[in-house]
Chain A
Amino acid sequence: MSVPATATGVPTGPETSPGTSTKRRIPRWAWFAVLPVVLLLLAVLELVTGAGDLTSSGTVRATLIATMPIMLAGLGGLWSERAGVVNIGLEGMMILGTFGAGYFGYHYGAWAGVLGAFALGAVGGLLHAVATVLFGVDHIISGVAINIIALGAVQYLASLTFAGLPGGGSTQSPKIPDVPSLTIGPLSDFLGDIEQDDWFFVSQVASVLRALVTNLSFLVIISLLLLVLTWYVLWRTSFGLRLRSCGESPAAAESLGVDVIRYKFIAVLMSGGLAGLAGGFLAMVASSNYRDGQTGGRGYIGLAAMIFGNWRPGGLLMGSGLFGYTETLGLRQGGTSVHALLLAVAVLGLVLAVLQARRGQVRAGVLIAVGAVVVGVVYFLIDEVPGDFTRMTPYVITLLVLAFASQRLRMPAADGQVYRRGSAG
């Protein structure tokens, strides 16, 4: 049977070829301006609404911890989709990773847990690679099957290995030793003082810096390094160019002598490993043991963050940061914080509406303006957003962003297509 070739993104609208594109390219330095600008906006928002927890160092630290698993999963998705293999099995590979961290972490120590998470995730990736690359199974079917198998296998293995251990049971592992973390004491205290002083914008910067020098897990650092490494390997080496060519046009790649099957295999293995690491992060940093149902759909969110980021590492980081931040706000003083965000959404919506209208897209502008006004009215009508709605925030934001931005996204041209060796003819 043939299930969709366009699995994760549906290209619509006229394709603009890079050479003739009239779209202004955002300069590279703009990436570094994103964080300060966001902080500035949040500082203004805190001033206007009086919500106090939007940029506290506690929120920033929790955001980092919430962001990393999503980013790692998305990074996994990036590797495999750049090589043309859609990986909806990220969720299952993450589940395998949580178990790997629990089993190896408990028996052999923290770093063994990290490696175990990566290795078990890679086993999931191997299964996906064998099914999709060797047997030509539809990528989504294989992914769904892996999600089912991984969940069952981990539940089965957990009741086999953790039941009877101290603090362990069929649904959770004993406590895993902590991954070492980094604290620069004096700096942390100094920044903490500034944060307390409530200087406009300066305190916000201080709280971000403080979160980075207080109790920062090495796994967070490793995760961020992996993001940079992925960007370098995929976009700055010949290996990466070949790998990406397998995702854009495998037939052309093969005719140039690239071993497409091998590159796809490597990419999907790496993808599984990164997703496994994402699961390991959940088990070892976000909590301290393996628990049943720990991933909570974050594999899918990682996939969404990757699409949100237009199959690029920088965008992926922003997408997962957005998820991590809204998730964190929902868990901390969610009611007031998300309430404050409503005002920001309303104002930004109006600005966007004006921009759209000026560009001649009056209908879209009016639609956005109406939406922004509705959000604004809601802001003034209620004092606090109910908990269930704060939990919904990341998903609603993803839907909105995809609805408004999906036409600008471009996925790898041969993403999701089954490739058989020798198709180049």
Chain B
Amino acid sequence: MTPRMTKLLLGLSAPVLALVAAFAITSLVLLIAGDPVGGVWGEILSVPEGRNIANIVNSASVLYLSGIAVAIGFRMNLFNIGVDGQYRVAAFTAAVVAGEAWLPGYLNTVLAIVCAMAVGALWAGIAGVLRATRGVSEVISTIMLNFIATSLVAFLLRKAAVREEGSNNIGTKEVPEGSRIPGISIGDGPGQEIYGFVIVAILVGVLYWFLLGSTRFGFDLRATGRSTTAAVASGISVTKMVVAAMLLSGAVAGLVGMPLLFGESYTYGSTFQSGLGFAGIAIALLGRNHPIGVAIGALLFAFLNEQSNPLQILVGVSPDIVAITQGVIVLTVVVSYELVRRYGVRLEQQSVARALESERKREEVTA
């Protein structure tokens, strides 16, 4: 086997190992609880229909943005737990701006999205500045900012809201027809449309890949993440990088609510989806901060969520079982990458030892 093949196989074996372990542990839980193991996996691993595929892609696009937002922080050794708060504040702002419709058509959409990114960046920036100037850990400050965001948005929503017809839910003014982002049809049936915003999510991924991999800024960011002392020695201002990374992470977090806002709900209300930030952390870990890895992670999580939905009706098992699978995957991915890395190192050492051995023998023969 060529070294290249070995490397590829090793790279692939880690996530496969993690998945197998996670499935095994979940099955064990099901077995102990006395639930039908076969029935559950049969349902989850069945081929999704067109409508389900659309749902999977849609929720994956949202999770992807959240994952990328977290990943930007990770590359710099910053732990942005605050994506949750950032996207709420941002989505609310965008909903208000878009609902007011100061500009016509898509200009309105663009303005709202820019506002969302700015507000998300500002909200994350608070944590960035606190970390850079006062040494406050971003883990704690972003958690606090999450709670503050929840209350703040609830307060502002009550000020800005209009009551939805025939329900107790309150929400912002609806986004006008002309400013909505049309869906992309992937089939003929009803509900077979994916958000137009999916394209933006892909663009964000490409930009992330380019910015971190091919620009000076990206290099500085990764260098600071690897070693602060080395970064300082090479003239990077760590303070600036911390704030910049948080701003960037927050700006992407600001986009998390956009697919929902412009593609489905058209308003920010008390029922707007929450908890996407924490899923983003798991997905960034799963995808090892790589743009394609994060995409696979987001699709996997969305797949598990969507496929587990009918479990309660069909086999009488609570769909929360997949949360166990998802959490276990996060752990097993980290462990299996470490195990595979150690194995790879051992393989390399062996091949070097063999090469040296044959070299020595040849010398003995010629001597």
Assess whether B160 is interfacial by the CB under 8 Å rule. no
Q: Separation in Å of the B146 CB from the closest CB of chain A?
A: 8
Q: B137 and A144: CB pair below 8 A?
A: no
**CA distance in complex: A8, B141 (Å):** 10
**CA distance in complex: A31, B328 (Å):** 44
| Number of chain A residues close to chain B: CB under 8 A | 57
Q: Which of B33, B77, B135, B320 contacts A155 (CB 8 A)?
A: B320
Q: B134 and A1: CB pair below 8 A?
A: no
CB neighbours of A10 from chain B (8 A): 131, 135-137
Given contacts A148-B282, A307-B137, A406-B136, contact A3 B331 (CB under 8 A): no
Interface residues of A in 145-173 (CB under 8 A from B): 145-153, 155-157, 159-160, 170
Assess whether A182 is interfacial by the CB under 8 Å rule. no
Chain B interface residue count: which class? 35 or more
**CA distance in complex: A1, B320 (Å):** 29
Q: A141 and B139: CB pair below 8 A?
A: no
CB neighbours of A386 from chain B (8 A): 155
Q: Which of A1, A152, A395, A404 contacts B327 (CB 8 A)?
A: A152
Assess whether A376 is interfacial by the CB under 8 Å rule. no
Q: Separation in Å of the B90 CB from the closest CB of chain A?
A: 18
Assess whether B74 is interfacial by the CB under 8 Å rule. yes
Assess whether B318 is interfacial by the CB under 8 Å rule. yes
Interface residues of A in 127-148 (CB under 8 A from B): 131, 135-138, 140-142, 144-148
Q: Separation in Å of the A212 CB from the closest CB of chain B?
A: 30
Q: Which of A13, A137, A170 contacts B135 (CB 8 A)?
A: A13
Residue on A nearest B242 in the bound complex, by CB:
A10
Q: Which of B134, B139, B318 contacts A159 (CB 8 A)?
A: B318
Q: B282 and A1: CB pair below 8 A?
A: no
Given contacts A13-B135, A396-B148, contact A145 B140 (CB under 8 A): no
Given contacts A136-B338, A137-B331, contact A8 B137 (CB under 8 A): yes
Assess whether B217 is interfacial by the CB under 8 Å rule. no
CB neighbours of A307 from chain B (8 A): 137, 140
Q: Separation in Å of the A416 CB from the closest CB of chain B?
A: 10
Assess whether A389 is interfacial by the CB under 8 Å rule. yes
Most buried by B among A149, A300, A389: A149
Q: Separation in Å of the A173 CB from the closest CB of chain B?
A: 15
Q: Which of A145, A160, A395 contacts B282 (CB 8 A)?
A: A145
Interface residues of B in 319-337 (CB under 8 A from A): 320-324, 326-328, 330-331, 334-335, 337
Assess whether B78 is interfacial by the CB under 8 Å rule. yes
Assess whether B232 is interfacial by the CB under 8 Å rule. no
**CA distance in complex: A219, B338 (Å):** 43
Assess whether A388 is interfacial by the CB under 8 Å rule. yes
Q: B137 and A141: CB pair below 8 A?
A: no
**CA distance in complex: A3, B154 (Å):** 33
Q: A138 and B147: CB pair below 8 A?
A: no
Assess whether A294 is interfacial by the CB under 8 Å rule. no
Q: DSSP majority for the B interface?
A: helix
Assess whether B145 is interfacial by the CB under 8 Å rule. yes
Q: B74 and A3: CB pair below 8 A?
A: yes
CB neighbours of A131 from chain B (8 A): 331, 335
Assess whether B288 is interfacial by the CB under 8 Å rule. yes
Q: B278 and A399: CB pair below 8 A?
A: no
Interface residues of A in 1-45 (CB under 8 A from B): 1-13
Assess whether A304 is interfacial by the CB under 8 Å rule. yes
Q: What does the 1/0 interface line of B197-219 toward A look like (CB < 8 Å)?
A: 00000000000000000000000
Assess whether A260 is interfacial by the CB under 8 Å rule. no
Q: What does the 1/0 interface line of B73-87 toward A look like (CB < 8 Å)?
A: 010011100000000
Assess whether B276 is interfacial by the CB under 8 Å rule. no
Assess whether A392 is interfacial by the CB under 8 Å rule. yes
Given contacts A12-B135, A135-B335, A307-B140, contact A156 B321 (CB under 8 A): yes
Interface residues of B in 245-286 (CB under 8 A from A): 278, 281-282, 285
Assess whether B66 is interfacial by the CB under 8 Å rule. no
Q: B77 and A149: CB pair below 8 A?
A: no
Q: B321 and A152: CB pair below 8 A?
A: yes
**CA distance in complex: A270, B261 (Å):** 45
Q: What does the 1/0 interface line of A81-115 toward B look like (CB < 8 Å)?
A: 00000001000000000000000000000000000
Residue on A nearest B25 in the bound complex, by CB:
A149
**CA distance in complex: A146, B327 (Å):** 7
**CA distance in complex: A146, B324 (Å):** 9
Q: Separation in Å of the B258 CB from the closest CB of chain A?
A: 25
Q: A300 and B334: CB pair below 8 A?
A: no
Given contacts A156-B323, A402-B140, A407-B135, contact A4 B334 (CB under 8 A): no
Q: Separation in Å of the B227 CB from the closest CB of chain A?
A: 10
Q: B78 and A137: CB pair below 8 A?
A: no
Q: B74 and A1: CB pair below 8 A?
A: yes
Q: Separation in Å of the B195 CB from the closest CB of chain A?
A: 25
Given contacts A12-B135, A145-B330, contact A398 B320 (CB under 8 A): no
Residue on A nearest B328 in the bound complex, by CB:
A149
Given contacts A3-B77, A148-B327, contact A406 B285 (CB under 8 A): no
Q: B151 and A7: CB pair below 8 A?
A: no
Listed by A's residue number, 25 A-B pairs whose Cβ atoms lie within 8 Å are: A1-B285, A2-B226, A4-B139, A10-B131, A10-B136, A10-B137, A88-B139, A146-B327, A148-B323, A148-B326, A149-B324, A151-B323, A152-B322, A155-B320, A155-B323, A156-B324, A170-B318, A304-B143, A307-B137, A392-B147, A403-B136, A404-B134, A406-B134, A406-B136, A406-B137
Q: Lowest 6 CB-CB distances: which A-B pairs, in order?
A: A152-B323, A149-B327, A148-B327, A12-B135, A388-B155, A155-B320
Known: A8-B139, A10-B137, A152-B326. 8 other contacts (CB 8 A): A8-B137, A152-B320, A152-B322, A152-B323, A160-B318, A297-B143, A297-B147, A398-B144
Please give the residue numbers on chain A whose beta carbons come within 8 Å of chain B beta carbons, in ascending order.
1-13, 88, 131, 135-138, 140-142, 144-153, 155-157, 159-160, 170, 297, 300, 303-304, 307, 386, 388-389, 391-392, 395-396, 398-399, 402-404, 406-407
